[in-house]
Amino acid sequence: MSLPEGTQPEAFVCETDEDLLAYMAMQGEDRLGAEQAFAEFYRRHERYLSSRCRVHRGILGEDGVSTLVQDTFLRVYQKAHTYRPKQPACDYAPRRVKAWMGKIAANIFLSQLRRNSSPEELPDDLDTKEYKSAFQRSPADENLPLSARMKLFLAALDTLSEKERDVLIVSAEWCRLGQEYQRLPDDISQKLSAKYQSTPEAIRQTRKRAKDKVKAFVESRENEK
């Protein structure tokens, strides 16, 4: 990415991500400073966010991914004042900022899927809402090698078709936002069924089939041993 001449945000290169968000939060008082802080934030995270959002290109298409990235950055700028740094400042602050961006992107992703049939505003609390994670590892476990069973799961995912993968991804993103054990809403199922020239009911069956496929793969390999 290259910025136009005269807009290189040199004044902000030494600031932390959390400081940049604090500058952005002051856009009412100092718009120029807030925009330069945003430019630096964007420079640091554009590749990261693009790579994360590209996992949804199967569903959104390349243009949709680009829109998702841009909308997420815009939302970061608009909602910078809602970011809550951990006190006292910790070594994990950059991860905290990325996690916050992830929540915004995940919400916008689902909102994009629902846009055609339910054009509603994003909820105000999306950036501060707590999410539970299925990851039970502590930071101390980070460098431990993957278990044999987890390696089988990873191999099993490679056997899924594009359609199965997309349905599983959308379902997982939906469940994480507090919708656990609930079916995909009709508008999202319809969007997926339109893409795959299928029916909403068939999409729900695809989700079940994908999970069964992974389970069978893992169990059969474990039984071989």
Which positions lie near other proteins, rule CB under 8 A? Answer: 1-4, 7, 35, 38-39, 41-43, 46-48, 50-55, 62, 65-66, 69-70, 73-74, 77, 92, 95-96, 98-99, 102-103, 105-106, 109, 131, 133-139, 142, 146, 149-150, 153-154, 156-157, 165, 168-169, 172-173, 176, 181, 211, 214-215
- Separation CA 205–CA 86 (nearest Å): 42
Closer to other proteins by Cβ: residue 50 or 179: 50
- Separation CA 206–CA 104 (nearest Å): 27
Report, in Å, the least distance between residue 80 CB and other proteins: 12
Are the CB atoms for 214 and 167 separated by under 8 Å? no
Closer to other proteins by Cβ: residue 180 or 197: 180
- Cα separations (Å) of 73 from 47, 98, 131, 182? 12, 12, 21, 30
Report, in Å, the least distance between residue 5 CB and other proteins: 11
Q: How many residues does the chain have?
A: 225
Report, in Å, the least distance between residue 155 CB and other proteins: 9
Q: Give the rounded distance of the alpha carbon of 3 from its chain centre.
A: 26
Closer to other proteins by Cβ: residue 53 or 197: 53
Tokens representing 36 are 């330069």
Closer to other proteins by Cβ: residue 51 or 220: 51
Query: Residue 71: what residue type?
Result: D
Query: Residue 119: what residue type?
Result: P
Closer to other proteins by Cβ: residue 183 or 197: 183
